[in-house]
Amino acid sequence: MRLLLPDEGTDRTLEPADLADRYAYPVVPWVRANMVSSIDGAVTVDGRARGLSGPADRHLFGLLRALADVVLVGAGTARVEGYGPPLARTEHAALRAAHDQPPAPRIAVVTNSADLDPRSALFAEAHPPTLVLTCAAAPAELRSRLADVGEVRVVGDARVDVTAAVAALVNDGLTRILTEGGPHLLGSLAAAGLIDELAVSYSPTLGAGDSGRIIEGPPASTTPMSLVGLIESDDFLFARYVRRDRLDALAPTDPRSPR
């Protein structure tokens, strides 16, 4: 991987340990969104994001999970992408141990309906159990069914209140939050001012078609962001943007600081 920004005037080849330092959480709590996009803005191929990925993107995807306490995902994305619980990986064991983290991050699924399959790998293979963030309007029978295999939190009345959802994670000590979408969950988080950082993998692909955007949802006020890092590998570009009102979290001596 080759560092493009910031320009530090030295060898710009990044080793794995360098990459972990670049993406370390600056403070907690902190919400990082990670998405992949074609260079013309498509976020899926044939309805799934993995068609845009490649070896370098999968490596970074795994690293960002290794740095996180919890992976926050919308129910639609979990279904379409066939989510299971994040796996403990030997190559990340020392990194997680250094931060007193368990071998793998937890997973938390946001669902207004509580319509998830309790027999799926998302629940059957999850240790500790998958967190389900839902609302009071979700059918009590479905919530009860999920409570038998996971941990259910009611965070909202008619719909999930994402502010309350993030607060529930933080209250559980899950302060390094990584969200992998989908676009509607990111839209809700952005509208609530909860996305501190956006990591975008630009795939060297033209997607065309009618694929959606990285973030979708009701109109919201514009959120100014600053580019704090840009890395190239195998024609992929990996960009990191931080909300301008959160730049103070990056110390002036931090290699990610744009100052």
Domains of the chain: 29-247 (3.40.430.10)
Token readout for 151 is 């941990």
Integer Cα distance of 198 and 242 in angstroms: 6
Handedness of CA 130, 134, 139, 144 (dihedral sign): positive
- The dihedrals phi and psi of 191, each to the nearest 5 degrees, come to -65, -30
**Looking at residues 148-167, what average pLDDT do you find?**
98
Peptide bond into 128 cis (omega under 30): yes
Q: Please say if the pLDDT value at position 127 is more than 70.
A: yes
Structure confidence by residue, pLDDT tens digits, 188-222: 999 999 999 999 999 999 877 777 889 998 776 78
Q: 183-191 and 162-171 helices cross at what angle (nearest 10)?
A: 90
Determine how many CB atoms are found less than 10 A away from the CB of residue 24. 13
What pLDDT digit, counting tens, does each position of 45-80 carry?
877 877 898 999 999 999 999 999 999 999 999 999
For the CA atoms of 133, 170, 33, 107, the dihedral, rounded to the nearest 10 degrees, stands at -50
8 Å CB contact between 29 and 22:
no
What is the pLDDT, as a whole number, of residue 93?
96
Phi and psi of 5, rounded to 5°? -140, 140
Q: Give the model's pLDDT for residue 254.
A: 64
Query: Per residue in 8-57, pLDDT tens?
Result: 777 788 887 899 999 999 999 999 999 999 999 888 887 787 789 899 99
Chain segment 140-154, per-residue pLDDT in tens: 999 999 999 999 999
The tokens for 16 are 């794995």
The edge-to-edge listing of strands for the beta sheet with 106-110 is 2-5, 225-233, 236-243, 197-203, 30-38, 176-179, 70-74, 106-110, 131-134, 151-154
pLDDT for the residue 212: 83
Distances (CA, A) of 100 to 17, 32, 39, 104: 18, 20, 38, 11
The whole-number pLDDT of residue 120 equals 95
- The answer, yes or no, to whether residue 259 has pLDDT greater than 60, is no
Q: State the pLDDT at residue 210.
A: 78
